[in-house]
């Protein structure tokens, strides 16, 4: 990543990152377990210098997934959300951009584009993130499966960078960086009545984010594919692995018998990652 002298004029006045000190909330519906995690929040005030005519810069937050384990356990196997690029060590980070304007996490409070001529000013940039997925009580492949979910384990790590981009030269500079992690463990007993099945295990409170001293950013964090496009939904038993290619916002559960002894690819998935 090339850095030019114009980018060095941008300064962070102050910044702060935190995770809400609340427990993950669990909801039990007829077909699914749903949970909502506490929010990661980060904001910064950035001093923007006076800009000359023709100068265009964008300042904002860039986030990438750096590790992900998301497993749902049943007596006959387990399902998981996976990022193959991370699992195979082909990259150290997968972009978590919203997909509308790479590389930014979002395009509202998360980034701002400034164009000269204009006087100096200070802008506040903020973002937040959390998970609110659904998990099937029943095995997510096959027909008329009984409710048998046993536990949910999720351990996901992120890095987030405050970045300024020279739009004319396509160069970047990282102004600030943080890393954060979400760990969720839920025990499930489907023999109990709905509303009493799921129990949140430790850690019930998430660790606070840490500032990154090394402000280098991998190229994969700045470009596609983003995590919502790169993720795969996988069903595994002792003899079977079925890999579902994921549509970005699927909201239905496939009815497919897990009768394959070889790897099988399907182009849809039951539920999204977040």
User: 274 in a domain, yes or no?
Assistant: no
136 found inside a domain: yes
CA–CA distance from 257 to each of 140, 207, 261, 262 (Å)? 9, 40, 12, 13
R_g (Cα) of the chain, nearest Å: 21
Whether 173 is covered by a domain: the verdict is yes
Residue 201 is predicted with a pLDDT of 98
Structural domain contains residue 60: yes
In terms of Cβ atoms closer than 10 Å to its own Cβ (0-12, 13-18, 19+), residue 136 is: buried
Distances from the Cα of 254 to the Cα of 19, 195, 229, 251, angstroms: 34, 24, 19, 10
pLDDT tens, N- to C-terminus, the chain (274 residues): 445 789 999 999 999 999 999 999 999 999 999 999 999 999 999 999 999 999 999 999 999 999 999 999 999 999 999 999 998 889 999 999 988 899 999 999 999 999 999 999 999 999 999 999 999 999 988 778 899 999 999 999 999 999 999 999 999 999 999 999 999 999 999 999 999 999 999 999 999 999 999 999 999 999 998 998 899 999 999 888 888 765 544 333 333 333 333 333 333 344 445 6
Preceding peptide of 108 cis, ω within 30°: no
Report if residue 272 sits inside a domain: no
Residue 246: what pLDDT? 58
Question: How many whole angstroms separate alpha carbon 247 and alpha carbon 28?
Answer: 24
**How high is the pLDDT of residue 28?**
97
Pairing relation of β-strands 264-266 and 232-236? Answer: unpaired
Residue of 187, 174, 176 lying closest to 217 (CA atoms): 174
Kind and range of the H or E run holding 156: strand 151-166
pLDDT digits (tens, 9 = 90+) for 60-108: 999 999 999 999 999 999 999 999 999 888 999 999 998 889 999 999 9
- Three-state DSSP state, 9: helix
* pLDDT (tens digit per residue) in 213-234: 999 999 999 999 899 889 999 9
Which residue, 110, 106, 133, 127, is CA-closest to 209? 127
Residue 173: which domain range?
Answer: 5-266
CB distance 150 to 48 below 8 Å = no
The pair phi, psi for residue 46, each rounded to 5°, is: -120, 130
Domain count, the chain: 1
Q: Would you state the pLDDT for residue 91?
A: 92
Query: pLDDT at position 263, please?
Result: 38
CA–CA distance, 42 with 40 (Å, rounded to integer) = 7
Residue 233 located in a structural domain: yes
**Side-chain half-sphere CA neighbours of 98 within 13 A:** 15
Domain membership flag for residue 140: yes
**Residue 150 lies inside a defined structural domain of this protein:** yes
pTM of the full structure:
0.88
> What's the pLDDT at 238?
82
- Which pLDDT belongs to residue 107? 94
């Amino acid at each position: 990543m090339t850095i030019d002298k114009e980018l060095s004029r941008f300064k962070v006045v102050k910044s702060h990152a935190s995770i809400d000190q609340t427990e993950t909330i669990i909801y039990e519906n007829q077909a699914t377990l749903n949970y909502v995690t506490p929010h990661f929040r980060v904001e910064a005030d950035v001093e923007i210098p006076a800009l000359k005519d023709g100068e265009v810069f964008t300042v904002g937050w860039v986030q990438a997934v750096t590790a992900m384990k998301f497993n749902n356990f049943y007596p006959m196997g387990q399902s998981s959300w996976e990022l193959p690029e991370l699992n195979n060590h082909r990259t150290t980070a997968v972009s978590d951009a919203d997909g509308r304007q790479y590389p930014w996490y979002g395009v509202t409070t998360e980034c701002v584009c400034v164009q000269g001529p204009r006087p100096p000013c200070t802008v506040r940039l903020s973002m937040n993130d959390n998970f609110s997925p659904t998990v099937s009580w029943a095995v997510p492949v096959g027909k008329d499966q009984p409710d048998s979910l046993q536990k949910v384990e999720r351990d996901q790590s992120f890095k987030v960078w405050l970045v300024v981009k020279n739009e004319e030269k396509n160069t970047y500079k990282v102004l600030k960086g943080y890393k954060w992690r979400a760990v969720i463990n839920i025990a499930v007993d489907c023999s109990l009545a709905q509303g009493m099945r799921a129990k949140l295990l430790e850690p019930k409170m998430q660790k606070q984010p840490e500032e990154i001293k090394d402000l280098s950013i991998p190229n994969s964090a700045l470009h596609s594919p983003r995590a919502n496009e790169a993720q795969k939904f996988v069903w595994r038993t002792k003899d079977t692995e079925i890999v579902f290619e994921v549509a970005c916002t699927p909201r239905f559960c496939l009815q497919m018998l897990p009768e394959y002894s070889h790897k099988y690819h399907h182009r849809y998935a039951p539920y999204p990652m977040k």
